[in-house]
Amino acid sequence: IIKTIKMKQLLKFIFSLFLISNFAFSQNTIKMTYKYGSDNGEIQDIIDFENIYIETLNFEGDLLNGKNYQINLEEYKNGKLTTKKLLFDSSESDYFKLNSNSLSLKFFFKMSDGKLKTYIRSNLFGTKKSYFNLMNDSDKYALKDFFGEKKEVTINPNKKNAVFAILTPTIHPDGSGSYCEVAQSDIAPEKLGEHFKIPHYFLVTINFK
């Protein structure tokens, strides 16, 4: 009986530690969810035809309140970072500083005529449109996030987080190609080009400060 009581106490102690560690982890991370494209099927067909990608990212966490954030686009050629372009920096004005525990950003990307066109919108702002040269046929580039089959992921607010890749597929020896194999791998986003032999791609990153 004494052994049983001690075992129950030990299990309760371990369970308490588990709850505490989970709570501490949740307090130091940010939950990110997404919504892709349009709810209207006909509009989505047109968006796909025009090689336009629209995805909303929703961030939630107590650490967001009072934070600023920065969104950058990084360009990689032959596995090396060659260009870093600031797309938005909320610290440019106190008006954009977060005053709640949530943030919603809608990203627009279009690949056409040898250019990548980007635009970001929230309930407070719309960025200027930015353009970047593509090295391959525009239709060979696709936007991929890093959710895979997950509905939500947790990100570390204290470091840079890659949220999108705009890339061409990895090509297999038989000539077939795959985008999802790249985006859903465990390879660090900065190493995708080197690992999958992708000569040119972009990463969109966000960091909170």
List, for residues 111-142, the tens digit of each pLDDT value: 999 999 999 999 999 999 999 999 999 999 99
Average pLDDT over residues 83-108: 96
What rounded mean pLDDT belongs to the chain?
90
**Res 13: pLDDT:** 54
**Res 158: pLDDT:** 84
One DSSP character per residue, the chain reads -HHHHHHHHHHHHHHHHHHHHHHHHHHT-EEEEEEES-SSHHHHHHHHHTTEEEEEEEEE-GGGTT--EEEEEEEEETTEEEEEEEEEEGGG-GGGS--SSEEEEEEEEEEETTEEEEEEE-SS-BPPPEEEE-SS-GGG-EEEES-TT-SEEEE-TTS-EEEEEEEPPEE-TTS-EESHHHHTSSS-GGGHHHHHT-SEEEEEEEEE-
Average pLDDT over residues 52-75: 96
Q: What is the pLDDT of residues 2-35, one digit of tens each?
A: 556 656 666 665 544 444 444 334 457 899 999 9
Q: What is the pLDDT of residues 30-61, one digit of tens each?
A: 999 999 999 999 999 999 999 999 999 999 99
% of the chain residues with pLDDT over 90: 82
Higher pLDDT among residues 25 and 151, named by residue: 151
**Res 7: pLDDT:** 62
pTM of the prediction? Answer: 0.84
